[in-house]
Amino acid sequence: MKVLLIHSYHAPAGGADKVYLNTGELLDKLGHKVIYFSFKNNENINSLNEKYFLDKPSKFQSVINFFYNKKAAIKIENLICEEKPDIAHLHSFWGGLTPSILIVLRKYKIPIVHTVHDYNLICPVTTSKDHKGNICEACKGKYFYKGALKRCFKGSFSKSLTVSASLFFRRKFFDPVRLIDGWIFVSWFTYYKHLQFMPNLINSDVINLYNFNPNPLLKSNNKSERKYFLYFGRLSHEKGLVTLIYAFSRIRDVKLIIAGSGPQEIYLKDKVKKLGCDNIEFVGFKSGGELNSIISNASFNIVPSEWWENNPLSIIEAYSMGIPVIGANVGGIPEIIVEGETGFLFEMKNVEELLTVIIKANSLPADDYNSMSNNTIEFASQNFNKEHYINSLVGYYEKHVKKNKN
């Protein structure tokens, strides 16, 4: 089968990027031909299809292309004519490659499935948070002008107006439910939230398919030493890192390592310095074996998110190495943390409750900790298994290819 994988970024920077690339790698190992379509970028990994990738637009072009990217439509049509894919699998594309590519895919009668990684179809800023950092549902999936009035995008009216108008444009003239054949949601929470604001989704072909970890699972874990608590991922406001830092400023004898980079990095380091927290260490962006080593030596991974987190790869990667997780009780996180068995939940933004949970986790007897650790491995083997993921995905592809031929 020839599979066209589409995503706006061809490098393993964030969770959605990794899922897109890992999916391509698994498909390739199964003998399917994978064709990639994305933007050119200095951080990109090599791709045989790079001649079809789009150049980064200028600042002026970016505003226009945010609505409808004509060059993307031309490029993907050239690619289709040469490669003749059997199916297109779209990841994140709305604000870059835009719905222009959907029209071309429909023109050539290529079935389209879409993995939903965020809230781009129901919220102008994709995270469903206003510029003050509060979860917001004011637009209710249709009153997108409210995103501009509330200045939800970086506190700027003009920028908020652009993203709000873009979402209205997409929903009005490129109805995603009509143009997309199959929908893959990586958490039930995200599906029901979309269904709440896109009720016509009820008649679509929808599956829930959790993300997966491409690395081998541990068989069991009996750690004799628990060295530190860990956060790894993007350093940005919606990740709840200020709440995390305040909690660890209250327990100076417990170490926290923060691995990652992002727009809040300088602010967070300054916050730690002002609080005098010698127990908090920033180690920068890590990947591959270096990141795996940091994760495997942690006691608990902490996911303090303050938005509707979808299906965090950081939880999946931690479980696969036998590391329990402390997570905010928000979005899709409580779907994959079994309280007291694979980790602990706490109320989002609640420093006191997070502090209590950290102290509880740190004082777990060795036998209880090892039991919890082994529970995470079992949970990962049942829910984040790469063989289950790829078999389910390929079956879904085949269903839509067959339906399209009929």
User: For residue 234, what are the β-bridge partners?
Assistant: none
The answer to whether residue 312 scores a pLDDT higher than 80 is yes
d(CA 242, CA 304): 9
User: Do the domains at 2-212+385-405 and 229-383 have one common CATH topology?
Assistant: yes
Q: What is the DSSP string of 270-283?
A: HHHHHHT-TTEEEE
105-117, pLDDT tens digit by residue? 999 999 999 999 9
The answer to whether residue 35 scores a pLDDT higher than 60 is yes
For position 186, what pLDDT does the model report? Answer: 95
The answer to whether residue 4 scores a pLDDT higher than 80 is yes
d(CA 377, CA 383): 10
What's the chain's average pLDDT? 91
Nearest to 88 by CA among 70, 69, 62, 108: 108
For position 214, what pLDDT does the model report? Answer: 81
Residue 321, token pair as written in the block:
């190495």
Nearest to 358 by CA among 346, 342, 349: 346
For position 331, what pLDDT does the model report? Answer: 95
Residue 354, token pair as written in the block:
């997070």
CA distances from 75 to 16, 70, 289, 311, 348 (A): 23, 9, 36, 32, 43
User: For residue 328, what are the β-bridge partners?
Assistant: 346
d(CA 13, CA 287): 9
- Tell me the backbone φ, ψ of residue 39, rounded to 5 degrees: -95, 150
- Paired sense of beta strands 300-303 and 229-232, if any: parallel
The answer to whether residue 307 scores a pLDDT higher than 90 is yes
The answer to whether residue 61 scores a pLDDT higher than 60 is no
The answer to whether residue 180 scores a pLDDT higher than 70 is yes
- Contacts of residue 48, defined as CB under 8 A and 6 or more positions apart, other chains included, come to none
- The DSSP secondary-structure symbol of 335 reads H
d(CA 92, CA 77): 19
DSSP helix/strand/coil, 116: strand
Q: Locate the domains of the chain by residue range.
A: 2-212+385-405, 229-383
pLDDT above 90 covers what percent of the chain?
Answer: 69
d(CA 339, CA 85): 44
pTM of the predicted model as reported, rounded to 2 decimal places: 0.90
Q: Which helix (DSSP H) or strand (DSSP E) does residue 327 occupy?
A: strand 325-328
Is 103 exposed, middle or buried, given 0-12, 13-18 or 19+ CB atoms closer than 10 A? Answer: middle
Please give the biggest Cα pair distance in the chain: 66
CATH fit for domain 2-212+385-405, picks 3.30.1490.20, 3.40.50.11900, 3.40.50.2000, 3.40.50.720: 3.40.50.2000
Sheet holding 205-208, edge to edge: 33-37, 2-6, 87-90, 112-116, 182-185, 205-208
Q: Which fold has domain 229-383?
A: Rossmann fold (3.40.50)
- Paired sense of beta strands 300-303 and 182-185, if any: unpaired
Q: Which residue has the tokens 């081998």?
A: 216
